[in-house]
Structure formats: C-alpha cells, structure tokens
Structure 1
Amino acid sequence: MGDRRAHTYNFNAGPSALPTEVLEEVKEHLVDFQGHGLSIMEMSHRGKVYEDVHDRAISDLRELMQISDEHEVLFLQGGASLQFAMIPMNFLAKDQQAGFLLTGSWSEKAEEEARRFGKTRIAASAKEGNYQRIPNPGEIVYDAADAYLHVTSNNTIYGTQWATLPEGNGTPLVADMSSDILSRQVDVSKFAMIYAGAQKNLGPSGVTVVIAKKDFLARADRDVPTMLRYETHVKSRSLYNTPPTFGIYVLSLVLQWAKRQGSVDALARNNAEKAALIYDVIDRSEGFYRGHAAQDSRSLMNITFRLPTPELEKAFVARSVQEGFLGLAGHRSVGGCRASTYNAVPRAASVALCDLMRDFAQKNG
C-alpha cells in the first residue's frame, strides 16, 4: 500500500486497524471480484457468488470460535447500540427483570435501554471509583428471576476487561464482546448470546455479529416488528433484506487472515505480548504514566493512561500525531490517553509506541 501506511501506527478505538494484507486483497479484487466482471459491492445478495462469501464467513467464524450447532450465527446491522434495545424487545417482558453487570459506559447504555421494556437490576457495579476495576466474582448477586444476565466483556473507554468472564449461574448469560471478540478464546457454550460490532476485531463498521443459542432464541417474543425479531434473521440466514455485503466480505477476509495467523490462541498470545510491552513502560515510568485500570482488571485491547498534567497529555498526543501515531487521545468523557491494540495492530506498533513513551518521559519528566 504506500510508504505512508507503513509509517502510520493505528491505535484508533474503532473503527480501527485492519490487516494490511486484507486491504491489499480487497484492492486487488475491488473492481473485478474473482473474474466475474463486477465488484462484490455490485452483486446481488441472492446470487451464488455472494452467498458463497456469506456462508464462508459464517463457517470460518464457527471454526475460529468453536461455535457448535447449538448456536446460530447472524450478521445484522445497527451495531451493538441496536442490540441494547433489540435484546430486551425480544427477551424482556414488562413484568420481567434482567440483571446487569456495570463496568463502564456501554454497560450503562445497555441497562438504560432495557429499562424501556422491562425491569432491570444491577447485579454488580464498579461505578464507584470511576470504573477502575472489574467486580470480583463474590460481588455478583444472582437472581433466578432474571430473564438474562448482561455483561460487557471489555470496556474501551476505561481500559478494563474481565480476565475471567462470569458464570450465568443458571441464568442465560448475554455478552457484549464488541471490543474483544476473537482476541482470546472463550467458551461460547456458556453464553445464551454474544454480540459484537465488527469494527474493532472483525472487520469494517456496518456489520454486527450475533451468536445465539437456539433454545434461548425459542423464548423470544414473537410480537416484535419483523426486522427486530431474531427469528426473522435466523430463518433467512441473515439475508431477509440486503445485508452489508461489502462489510461481510471484508469480515470474511479478516477471518481467513486470523486463521493464517494460527487462529485465536496465536492472536491471544500476540495481544498479551503487545499489551505487556506498553504496561511495562507505564509501570517503570516512576509515576510519569499512570494507568487508569487496576492491575488485575487491565484490558489487553484498550490501554488507558494519564500523564502528570493535561498540558503534558496534549503535548504527548500532538507529538504522537507528528510521528505517525493515530488515535492515542483518550475518550472525551475521561480524557488522558488510550492505545487500542486490537488483533490487526502489529507488534511493531506497540514497540514504536513504547519508544515514543520512554523518550517523551525522559524529556518531560
């Protein structure tokens, strides 16, 4: 792709880095897909050429995440934000309650949306202390009356992550894995539903992956608008209306790339190494860099940190941009800095960031 890309380090939180070799393949086939004389964007979603792409994406995701036939795999639209409403529309009646584990802004939004449809309760919360940590297992209060228990596996804004995901304890467990899906192996069988916007680890924005247990889907309310019923998309194999065909095509290429890397275990090892490099600089900086997350709650996807003053934070971000680093400013709601080290961020980018951080601390500490 050009020299400029080779010297640009993409730490954006989402949409975020895509593998360069995937983009090269897209570029090669953008105008004429596999000799058919058309771009994949121009083809009918009912035609065999696109359906082969669609079906391969589903089968590769099943292989990578070890998804059994007990679960359906859907490609929807609307991002995780639509799922915040769609899940309670289908599974939470007005006289029912759902439990929520609050670990950041996105879990708060999921709980707020659910309140429009039924009752909610907070099963555990880390809000006190500005979401610096993940609740420990002993803090979770289970209730057999819950229609489901909702967890956000990773928190992009605060930089925290469940090192070990909670158990449902007999309650259907629903997980928003938008920012760490495919970054480590999870036992899909433990979840009634997993959902994720694609734009962090799976592909471009515009596609939402939903993995749902068939017996959980069987409980869904049928008196829901057609496009907002999971049943609609299950029956049509996510082809009820025109899906985001180009996004699903790129997602399929990313899944093939992930398999070439050595599948999820290899990605997980690489992610742990990338994050450890940056956390080590933070921990050795004698307080110049201060991590937001408690050590046992640190995210391997989003590394959040502060500098001694807001002025130094602005200077650090300004210098980083000059040197080809993108996306290092923290979320507007919390400030500071954030490095998002998703699957497609190469190890070399983390090494370069560490060099920048050490040099900046030396000159400004």
Structure 2
Amino acid sequence: MNTLQQHIKQKEFSKLYLLYGEEDYLKKRYKDSLQVAIISDDLTMNYSYFEGKNIDVIEVIEKAETLPFFNDRRLIIIENSDLFLVQNSLADRLNTLPKSTHIIFVEKKVDKRSKLYKQIKKNGTITELNELDNKKLKVFVASLLKKDNKKVTENTVSYLLDKTGTNMLYIQNEVEKLICYAYDRDLITKEDIDSVCTEQIEGKIFQMIDAIVVKNKDTALKLYYDLLELKEKPMSILFLLSRHFKILLQVKDLSKLGRDKYTIAGKVGVSPYFVGKYIGQSNKFSVDSLKDNLYLCNQAEEDVKTGRQNDQLGVELLIIQFSNN
C-alpha cells in the first residue's frame, strides 16, 4: 500500500497495476485514487472500463494500443475478469503497449503461476489487499467517526466490530448510520449501536455458541428464533453451526501447537480479528465434545434430507441437545 500511496503522491506511475484480495473497500479506494491521479476527470476519450469474465481481450488490446487524445495518458481498468485464472493472449501484448497507456487490474483471486501475473510482477506493481487486523480496523472506525467530529471509546469500537464483522464496506455503512442517528451528540455509545446497527449472522452464531457453552438453552434458542425472523433458513443456520464447530476444532489443534493468530487465520480461513474469540471458545470445549457436536450436526442434516425430521424443528432440537450435553 505504501508503494501505491507514493506513486499517487509523486505522480510517477507504473504502466501496469494489479490490485487483488478479499477487501473490496481497499481495492475500490486505491482503484479510484489511481484513476483520478492518472487521468483526473478525463473519463470519456482516454478511459475504458471492462468488467466480468466475458471480456473481449482483442478489444482490450485495441484500446490499449490507441494513443491518448489531448492527454498524456490513457487508462484502462479491468475488474473481476478472472484473466489471472485462465490462459489468454493478453500477457504477450503488454510489452508492446505505448508508454502513455496504463492498465489497472482489480481481482479477487489470482494464480501467481499465470503468465499474466508474472508479466505484471516483472513490469508493474502488484498489491494484495486483504482484511485488516484488529488494531487497524479500530483505527479505521475511529477515523470515519472523527471526520464527523464523533468520539468513541475503544470498548465501543470492539462492540461494533463484533456485530459488523470485518468487511470494511459494511463497517462504513454502519458507521454512517450511527453518525446520522447520534445527530448532534459527540459520543457514540453501545446503545446507539444496538439501536441502528444490523448484526451479521456470524455474530449471532458466536453468541449462540457462547450460550451453549454455559448450558443457557433459552438464550441459544432465542438467538435461533431471531435468525429465523431475519429470514435465515434453518439449514443455513445448521451449516454455520457445523462450520463453527469445525473451526473451533482446527483452532484448538493449531493453538496447542503454538501457532500465532495470523498463522491460524490463514490456515483456517477466518479473519485475524476473530481468532482470539475462536481460541477463547475452543478452550471451553474438549476435543471429544467438539467432535460429538460435529457428529450431531451431520446427523441432523441427514435426518432433514431424508425426511425423518422437519428442518426448523430439527435445528431447534439440535440446539437443545447441545445445551443439555
């Protein structure tokens, strides 16, 4: 990210950029910043945008080989194309492009073995943009609030992130709701968050597991009914419960091996922000109890699929069984 910021500040640009990873907010932010810096507001004659998996590579090449009109630069943005996952002829043509042409690729996934990736690594700038860690997410939230002269405690920020998850676009939307709700008040409170912020389903699953740990059947069932009211399907909830127990089992094993939270996050496929919570929950279960719960999830799924049990009642009985074990 520092390289991109330096290019934008100094207005010295690579011919080729690749922005990839899971964090859409950061990809959009740097894509937009590069776009403005490279061609300013010239979004007609010297700008082309391509999106999707059915991009015509020949058309891209034709646009890229065209010299700019009344401008020093031409910009092409290619987004969500999967060009880094399939064979294509684009990599062979990038070496012959005019110096005035700049191309920005924005992708979620790439194959680092692909010819196109290697070409950009050799002749351009590649930046991976994934979820921020706990500390940086808190700074992000505080900075959004500060722009509107709002204040917040660190505990309240943590409370917000527990509800929203780590997707920065979603966090931004929820913070905007908080700013409007607080209106002329300076301090954002937990009560504000409870009033206007929508909790992600994963957050309720965490709470449900917490209730199961302490055998609080009523709370676990209330959370289940809340999810049903939000139009979540019983089988989707069952899938998330099963996934959660699998993650707890993996986290427990990796934690015993002394792996740090970033290693655990990478191996398990979760945000580093939530690893501490997973470790805390996993410590409250034995390995055998986690395996038993996974077996019960699989059994409940089979009962529903074979018609032996209604889906809504089946998951309800499963939660009761978890809470009683």
Which TM-score applies when normalising by structure 1? Answer: 0.26
Q: Higher RCO, 1 or 2 (CA under 8 Å, sep at least 6)?
A: 1
More strand by share: 1
Report the structure, 1 or 2, having the larger helix content. Answer: 2
TM-score by length of 2: 0.29
* Bigger-Rg structure (1/2): 2
